[in-house]
Structure 1
Amino acid sequence: MSTISLLDARRWSLTARLTVFFGTAIAVILVCVSAMMYAELVRQVHEKQEVELLEDVHIQQEVLSELQRKGRQSDWEHEWREQQDEIGEFTWQLIGADGKLVAASGNAANLAPAFAHAAPANRFYRVSVPGAQGERYFLVFDATGSGADGSKLLRGILDVAQDEQVLRRYLAKLFSVVMLAIVVAVLTGFLLARRGLAPVRAISAEIARMSAERLSARIAQDGWPSELRTLAGNFDELMGRIERSFEQLSRFSSELAHEFRSPINNLVAAASVTLGRARSAEEYQTTLAVVVEEGARLSRMVSSMLFLARADNAKQLVQVEDLSTQIEFQKLLEFFGILADEQGVALEADGSVHLRADPLLLRQALSNLLANALRHSARGGKVRLCAFDRADAILIAVSDNGCGIAPAHLPFLFDRFYRADAARSATDSTGLGLAVVRSIVELHGGTIEVRSRPGEGATFTLRLPKDAPGMSR
């Protein structure tokens, strides 16, 4: 994998993403909690140091005040100095009103750099001083009004190097522990992610084993987690649709070969018989008529299949226009009128409704239905076109009083190459007319249904939406 791919988080595996997310979350939590704990520890240590320094300064102030009350002004410094413990972490200086040093503890001389940092009056101030053995840290506090006349300043310094060293060692150990915890968290996150995504890998393995010969295999089972059960169920539904489509395609291919074979065999047979010996002009004309009829049938089948292929692949663009059923019905009556008269069938139309549809496709659908109705109507029968305006749709019905359709055939009428009347000659129909009608109706966002009883005719009803979405205008 290239460096660019590694930097693109969208290309990371789910395991890597979950590991990074888990590790980052744990790292942020640990760093925040550790920082809060360390800050609280520092606050408490500093507070303890300030209290200690303030107590030492107050003690020295009390000693100063007591000695000033007992003796002369010139004697108190000597007596005060003698009472101080020169050993310890606390150091002090007494500074007069003129800024000169009045008195100091015995170890004050060693801390001249620390005393050089004047602290704000009555406030704590922290300083660091370089030393021979490393940095030294001090806490400084200047208490004003320490003299009898309130003109002296008592400066106290507390050596806090030991506490600071403890804090730094604690911080170093805390950092090590946090880093170790983050590493452990990342490894734990990786293992948890791997274990948690194991069902996904199992599903992937099951899908990888599927092939055209195993389209019936399913992966849904109760053992998957709830999120994956939904995914597995949806995948099984998809596989079911693919299996049905594959079976339909296989059946369609077989039926297509069979349907093409009949007219081609007829063409070859007619030509072979005609070429067997010399024929009269009338016989040649008869053979040519057969060739033209079978060729026209093949042409109709090819055209219908091309239309169905475009419709199935959403390549058929519907160009809707404002139409009137009265005008469309009149055109159909004029076209099929002669054929109806020859068969002795009455052709009627009723209903004037305005709708939006593709005129060419609508005429093709209604033409297929009318041709089918005339084909199944006996002499003296009647075929009727009707249109109705409903609240949510436009209904167009094509009905006849012919032989009707048996209930067993109704679910399959719109399948390709399906013929309800097997006794009819194959030349009467391509078996694709009703499939084309359904595709046209579905392209308009509508539906088609059929009602029929044997001996009572059939009624095909197109339900078209008044404004189907997704159609070109």
Structure 2
Amino acid sequence: MSSITASLALSLAGVTVMTFLAAGIAIYWGVAYTLEQTAREEMVGKLRIVQHFVDEVVQDGNLETLRHHIDDVMTGHGELTVWLLNDRDEVVHGGLGLPVRQLREGDFEVRTVSGKKMAFARKSLENTGSLQLRTAVIALDMAPRARLLRALLYLMLTAGSLAMLLTFTLSLQATRHGLRPIGRLSRQAATIAPNSLALRLDISGIARELEELAQAFNGVLDRLESAYQQVRSFNADVAHELRTPLATLISGTQLALSANRTQVHLRATLESNLEELEGLKSLVNDMMFLAHADHGTVVQDLVDTNLRPEVQKVCEFYDALLEDSGLKAVIEGRATARCSPALMRRAISNLLSNAIKFTAPGESIKLSLTEHGRIAEIAVANPGPPIPAETQERMFSRFYQADPARVRSGDSHGLGLAIVSAIAKMHGGQAFCERADGMTRVGIRIPQ
């Protein structure tokens, strides 16, 4: 298992190594370049002095005087060596050891015949007269420079190693200290259990970067608690809805078995049981549909659909119920959307069925189709008193019935509007309920 503390400490140590390495290379080459330039300038200066001495002794042609002057100048500069060459490239001053055959214009470092590494510069002498000198060569022993660079390299390697070790140690301690709030949040999270979902992480006094994480985690807990409560409520509602039809089935069956019954009575009992079973089947199918919607099922069979014919089909299906209820359905407007026609008909059917239950005889139910930008709206409006705000907030919840006493049909389980909301979400839209022009409008809005 990887450790964030160790990873951060190693990362910081690695950054330190890379920084020291880059800085060390820059310093090393900077010092090397500076030493080279200093050596070049020193040798060029000494060559000018040699030329000056040549100019002084050229009149009397005394080579020994020139050698004496050069030796005096080189006193205290043991790293410097001067050679004087005649026009046949023979050494007339400076002794042996000059790599004459290796000297080329542009060279800076060469090795002498004795193997010593030296930096050199050369100058063609002018106006040498009877001295018959042509070239002056000056060389600088590179050993001290090499020792200095080697010492600098060792120093940087040692300092870099110590810095890396120190950085890793301090980074380890600093990271542990910086990650303490995470440990505190982890301990708080460990105390949250199904019976204590109301607990939340304490975000007071934590770092800004962790505050967003803690808030997101608290948001997850909010949704988890809501889902948990919904499941508990859902289970209780399902048990409540199933209890009555199951009790009816059991009591009817027990009564039929309690004595010898005629074939007609037994047939009536079976027909009653079948009716209850059909209701249970409808309830189970609706619950399965909502379960699929909760799992994020997306509609696959999307087609560009003219919604008005779909609304007309639903109204034709409800013609008999509308006539029996003394109601009239009016369709207004047009709209198109990319949707599943079957699901749209189901949503419209549930909306119209709900409106029929809560509309007084003699009234009209208006089904309107409108388009707002790239949004298609399907709304079913019916006259009546305003719906309380609390009811509007809960009317799309499962098994919710605002006023069961007003429901005319006994086959309602309070899932109709929940299915409408689920269908809207499956199409990327949402359900709505609003009051306008003395009528209650309930419907869905989906993207086109």
Question: What TM-score results when the alignment is normalised by the length of structure 2?
Answer: 0.86
Query: 1:459 aligns to what SS in structure 2?
Result: strand
The question of whether the paired residues in 2 share the 8 Å contact of 1:92 and 1:157 is answered with yes
Counterpart for residue 63 of structure 2 = 77
Instruction: Spell out the pairing of 1:57-456 with structure 2 (5 A cutoff).
Output: 57-70=47-60, 73=61, 76-81=62-67, 84=71, 88-101=78-91, 103-105=92-94, 108-109=95-96, 112=97, 114-116=98-100, 118-120=102-104, 125-128=108-111, 136-145=116-125, 147-148=128-129, 151-315=133-297, 317-343=299-325, 345-356=326-337, 357-401=339-383, 408-423=390-405, 427-451=410-434
C-alpha contact (below 8 Å) 1:203/1:219 kept by paired residues? yes
Q: Distance in 1 between matches of 2:262 and 2:360?
A: 36
CA distance in 1, matches of 2:213, 2:272: 57
Distance in 2 of aligned mates of 1:438 and 1:156: 97
* Distance (whole Å) between structure 2 residues aligned to residue 274 and residue 91 of structure 1: 131
How many residue pairs align between the two structures? 440
Matching residue within 22, 28, 50 for 1:38: 28
The alpha-carbon distance between structure 1 residues 143 and 378, as it changes in their structure 2 partners (threshold 3 A), is: closer
Distance 1:224 1:328, change over 3 A: same
Q: How far apart are the structure 1 equivalents of 2:253 and 2:374?
A: 55
SS of aligned partner of 1:427: coil
Could you say if the C-alpha distance between residues 267 and 68 of structure 1 is closer, same or farther in structure 2, counting changes exceeding 3 Å? Answer: same
The 2-side partners of 1:288 and 1:77 are apart by 142
292-301 or 22-31: bigger deviation: 22-31
How far residue 408 of structure 1 moved from its aligned partner, in angstroms, is 4.4
Secondary structure, aligned partner of 2:410: helix
Name the CA shift for 1:413/1:117 in 2 (closer, same or farther; >3 Å). Answer: same
TM-score (norm 1): 0.81
Check the 8 A contact 2:399/2:413 in 1, yes or no: yes
Deviations 1:90-123 (A, max 9, x none): 333322112233x224xx24xx2x44464345x6
- Quote how far apart the aligned CAs of 1:267 are: 0.2
Q: C-alpha displacement at 1:16, in angstroms? A: 4.4
Q: Which of 179-188 and 234-243 deviates more?
A: 179-188
Which one-letter code corresponds to 2:93 in the other structure? A
Provide the rounded CA distance (Å) in 2 between the counterparts of 1:361 and 1:93: 105
Return the alpha-carbon distance in structure 2 between the equivalents of residues 447 and 56 of structure 1.
Answer: 93
Three-state SS of the structure 1 residue aligned to 2:273 is helix
1:138-169 alpha-carbon deviations (Å, 9 max, x no partner): 23222212522775222223334334323322
Deviation at 1:317, TM superposition (A): 2.0
Measured in 2, the distance between the counterparts of 1:176 and 1:228 equals 38
Structure 2 SS opposite 1:69:
coil
What CA distance in whole angstroms lies between the structure 1 residues aligned with 2:37 and 2:305?
91
Q: Do the aligned partners of 1:128 and 1:136 also contact (CA within 8 Å) in 2?
A: yes
Cα displacement (A) at 1:409: 2.8
Distance 2:424 2:263 in 1: 47
The one-character-per-residue Cα deviations of 1:118-137 (angstroms, maximum 9, x if unpaired) are 4345x673234597xxx743
Alignment partner, residue 9 of structure 1: none
Shift of 1:239: 1.0
Q: Quote the offset at 1:309 in angstroms.
A: 0.9
Q: Displacement of 1:13 after TM fit?
A: 4.7
Alpha-carbon distance between aligned partners in 1 of 2:42 and 2:373, rounded to the nearest angstrom? 91
CA RMSD of superposed structures (Å): 3.2
Separation (CA, whole Å) in 1 of partners of 2:342 and 2:134: 111
Within 1, Cα distance between the matches of 2:268 and 2:311? 36
